[in-house]
Structure 1
Amino acid sequence: MPRKPSPDARERILDVATRLFTAHGVHAVGMQQVIDEFGCGKNLLYREFAGKDDLVVAYLTRCRDTWACMYEQAGVGREDDPAGHLVALVELTAAKVLEPDYRGCGIHNTHAEFPDPAHPAHKVAAEHFATMRERLLDLATRAGARDPETLTDRILLIIEGIYTNGLAQGRNGAARAAGAFAEEVVRSALADRSA
């Protein structure tokens, strides 16, 4: 009688794939490498994920969910302070980049590997970026910025700068200053309202 796979097999396979994709990039990791690393047969892997594209989409969905959790965490205790929520989100992003095992944003890295807008990985990444912008625009609007679109664009530039240059600048570089910079940008946007 064949062994019944554990109910968490999908998540455990995804754990392995996430570790490999983070370390090597999505294109560099083949399905056989995931099978070998996880120690399962092809049947189990392909039962859980129809192909590599499905596995990559699941990985990106996990990355997207991680960002959504950061967004929620930044808002804890700031339900009536959308400006503070924006700054806290920048600070959490910087803290993530400063973690010793950080290897870049999985969504940004994968988006760069899949430039074809028709590819499922590209679509998931593009949807994430659109959702991220919508959420930041909502906060900027609720904060009372005179020009919420501009404030949103500026906060996005800070976040993108953290993701892009945080590691390049080193552990004591620009990522450490990001929260203070975001606070200045938000304060300026709110001061513009009263001008």
Structure 2
Amino acid sequence: MPTPDARERILGTATRLFDRHGVHAVGLQRIIDECGCGKNLLYTCFASKDELVVAYLRCCGAAWDVLLAGAKAAAAAPERQLVELVREVGVRATRPGSRGCPLRATLAEFPEPRHPAHRVAVDQLVRARTRLRELAGETSAADPGRLADRVMVIIDGLYASGPVFGGDAAEAAVTFAEDVVCAETSAAAESR
């Protein structure tokens, strides 16, 4: 029988490896070797690599919730929380070894829409966008959906350029987010 933490140990090892090298580049044997778990234990916890990848992607989606909670804790006003979210993404996107957003990276590795990894990555990104739109809906923006989508584009750009340009990209993204939030919420205030 597997220990209660076996699944989490395997998933933690897979997450570290997938984040660093990509899903296709990491075989199950490498996960087994680095985790020290044995093939039978891995297959008891995860019936297939696809099942392990899906669990990994769900963890990545949960990481978005952690980022959002951190942004909400860092600022009282929802306008500032959007900027803090970009700042928090900047910290992640510029870490040494970062390959950008793990959801987007995995989506690129699995372009077939019917593949479970593709579907879960899309579901998690849609969920993240929905949560971002909810936060933008708490601002004074005349069009909260547009504000959220613009912040999402900033985050996408940060994940793409952060691993290459580091702190410069993060700083530019935060400044850009401040400008966008100010423009979107000022326009709403002026129309009242």
| 1:173 aligned onto 2:168 | yes
Amino acid of the structure 2 residue aligned with 1:110: T
Task: For residue 77 of structure 1, report the CA deviation from its aligned partner.
Answer: 5.4
* Partner Cα separation in structure 1 for residue 138 and residue 27 of structure 2: 45
Bigger Cα displacement from structure 2, 128-137 vs 172-181: 172-181
Amino acid at match of 1:96: R
CA distance in 2, matches of 1:59, 1:16: 10
1:122 matches 2:113 = no
User: Identity, % of aligned pairs?
Assistant: 48
Equivalent position SS for 1:116: coil
User: For 1:17-46, what per-residue CA distance to the aligned partner results, in whole angstroms no more than 9, with x for missing partners?
Assistant: 112212221011111221122222211010
TM-score (norm 2): 0.92
Shift of residue 172, structure 1, vs aligned partner: 3.5
Tell me the distance in 2 between the aligned counterparts of 1:126 and 1:139: 20
Tell me which residue corresponds to 1:74.
Answer: 71
Aligned counterparts of 1:41 and 1:96: Cα–Cα separation in 2: 31
Q: C-alpha root-mean-square deviation of aligned residues, in Å?
A: 1.5
Partner of 2:8: 11
TM-score, structure 1 normalization: 0.91
Matching of residue 155 in structure 1 with residue 151 in structure 2: yes
The count of residues paired between Structure 1 and Structure 2 equals 190
Q: Considering fraction of residues, name the structure with more helix.
A: 2
Q: Which amino acid aligns with 2:172?
A: A
Aligned to 1:110: 106
**What's the counterpart of residue 96 of structure 1?**
92
Q: How far off is 1:5 after superposition?
A: 3.2
- Specify every segment of 5 or more residues in structure 1 that has no aligned partner in the other structure, as ranges: none
Contact kept in structure 1, 2:103 and 2:125, CA below 8 Å:
no
